[in-house]
Amino acid sequence: MAVAFAVVAAVNYVVDPHYVFASPERRGLNIRKKSVEDTIRQFRSTHLASGDFDGLILGSSRPHRGLRPDHPVLANHRVYNACLPGTNMSELATVFEHAVRHQDLDVVVFGLDILMFGTRRPVRQDFEDSAFVRPLPVVYLRNLLSLPALLQARRVVKDNMEEPDRPPDVRRDGLRLVQETGRRTRREAFDRKLAHSYLVSPATYPGFEFSPQRLEEFRGVVRLALERGIRLELVIDPVHARQLEAMRVTGIGDAVEQWKRDLVAVVAEENARRSADASAVRLWDFATYNSVTSETVPPAGDSSIMRWWFESSHYTVEAGDLVLEVLFSDPRPTHVPADFGVLLMPDNVEEHLAADRAAREVYAREFAFEVAEVERLYRETEEVRRNFMRLGRSLPEDE
C-alpha cells in the first residue's frame, strides 16, 4: 500500500496536472494542462504562498488574459498574475491578504468590474479547497494522493504526447494564454459573448444587485495596501463599447455610474487617512466610450482579428500593454490614445461621467448599427433571459 501511495504521489508531483506544485515543465509531458481553469484558485493559492514576488496583478479573467507581468514598465519587479475568472470582491480581498502574508509586495495592479460588487457571484468551491482557506500542507497532500489528480495526470501526459509543440494554457508568471483557434469570427464571438452570457445570465447584468458588503471588502483592500506601503493601482477594466451598450439595455447604466462614484469616495476617504510616507492609491477608469473601446468589429463572415479585443468582454495583451503604460509611464507615451484611461478623483468624477455620456451619444451616431445589434440581441434573448431569471440559473460568463 505504501508503495502504491508513493507512486501516486510521484506521478502527481512530476506531472502536476493541477499546477499546484509548479513542478518543472517538460516538452511532451506536462506543459499544457487543459484543466487549469477548474483548479485555478488552488494553484494560485500555492504559488502565492511558495513563490517569490514583489508585484501582483489581481482581478477577473480580463486582466488574467490581458495584463502581462513581463511588460517592460514592470521590469524592476517580479510580478505574478493571480487573477481569478468569475470572481468577486470577497475572494479577491482574501487573495490580497494571503499574498501580503506570504510576499513582500511593492506594487499591485487591481482590475475591477461591477459584477465583483454584486450579490450573485458566489465563492467558488475550488476557492474553499485552496490554501486561501485551508492549511497549505493539506492542499499539497490532497493533490499528491488524489486519485482524480492521477487520472487527470494521465490525460495531461496523453495530450502533451499527442501535441508536444502546443504552448501552455497558463504561463508560469500566471498570464492566461489565449489560443486563436479560428473557430469563430470576431463578429460571432462578440454576439455569442452577449447572447450566451451578459444578456441572459442572472450572474451578470440582468440579475445584478449591488452588495454594500463587497464595497466594504474593497475598502479593506485599499486600507491594507496603505498600511503596508504598497503601491496600489486600481483599474476599472476596459470593455468594448458593445459591452457598455449591454449594460445600458439591461438597465444597469445608472448603477455603474453610482458604483464608480462609490469607488472614488472609498479611495478618497482611505487616502485621507494614510501616513505621510505612504503613496496614494489611484483609481483609473478605462471602461468608457473611447478610441480603444470603440474599435470596429469586422462584419459577418470576415475572419479578420481585432487589435484590441478577443470579444466584447476581454481585451488583448496589446490593449493591456496600453493600460500598464498609462499606469507606470510618466509622461504618458504618445502612442497611447489620449482618451484611454482617466484618473478618477472626487473633483472630476461628475465631469468624467458627463463626458462619457456625451461620448456615448457620439458612438450611437457613428456606430448606430452596433447599437441596434445589441438591442436586437437583447430582444431575441428575452425568453431565455426570462427562464434563466425564473430558475436562477447562471452561465459561466468568463469562459
Taking only the tens place, the pLDDT of each residue in 231-241 is 999 999 999 99
- Return the axis-axis angle of helices 253-272 and 241-249, rounded to nearest 10°: 110
- What is the pTM assigned to this prediction? 0.94
Q: Is residue 323 part of a domain?
A: yes
Residue 187 in this model has a pLDDT that exceeds 60: yes
Which three cell numbers mark 389?
Answer: 431569471
Of 125-129, 179-183, 340-344, least confident by mean pLDDT is 179-183
The sign one gets for the Cα dihedral 202, 206, 207, 208 is: positive
Whether 80 contacts 56, CB under 8 Å: yes
Strand ranges across the sheet with 282-285: 79-81, 55-58, 107-112, 231-236, 282-285, 342-344
> pLDDT tens for residues 33-62?
877 778 899 999 999 999 999 999 999 999
Q: Is residue 62 part of a domain?
A: yes
Q: Is residue 10 part of a domain?
A: no
Neighbours of 254 (CB within 10 A): 10
> pLDDT tens for residues 136-170?
999 999 999 888 888 898 999 899 998 888 888 88
> pLDDT tens for residues 70-129?
999 999 999 999 999 999 999 999 999 999 999 999 999 999 999 999 999 889 988 999
Q: Is residue 153 part of a domain?
A: no
Q: Is residue 40 part of a domain?
A: no
Whether 55 contacts 78, CB under 8 Å: yes
Bridge partner list, 284: 235, 343
Q: Give the domain range for residue 257.
A: 58-124+180-391
Centroid of chain to Cα 156: 25
Q: How many CA atoms lie within 13 A of 128 on its CB side?
A: 4
Neighbours of 303 (CB within 10 A): 11
Q: Is residue 143 part of a domain?
A: no
Q: Please count the structural domains in the chain.
A: 1
Whether 149 contacts 56, CB under 8 Å: no
Neighbours of 383 (CB within 10 A): 9
Rounded alpha-carbon distances, angstroms, from residue 61 to 47, 102, 116, 233, 295: 18, 23, 12, 18, 20
pLDDT for the residue numbered 70: 97
Q: Is residue 305 part of a domain?
A: yes
Q: Is residue 2 part of a domain?
A: no
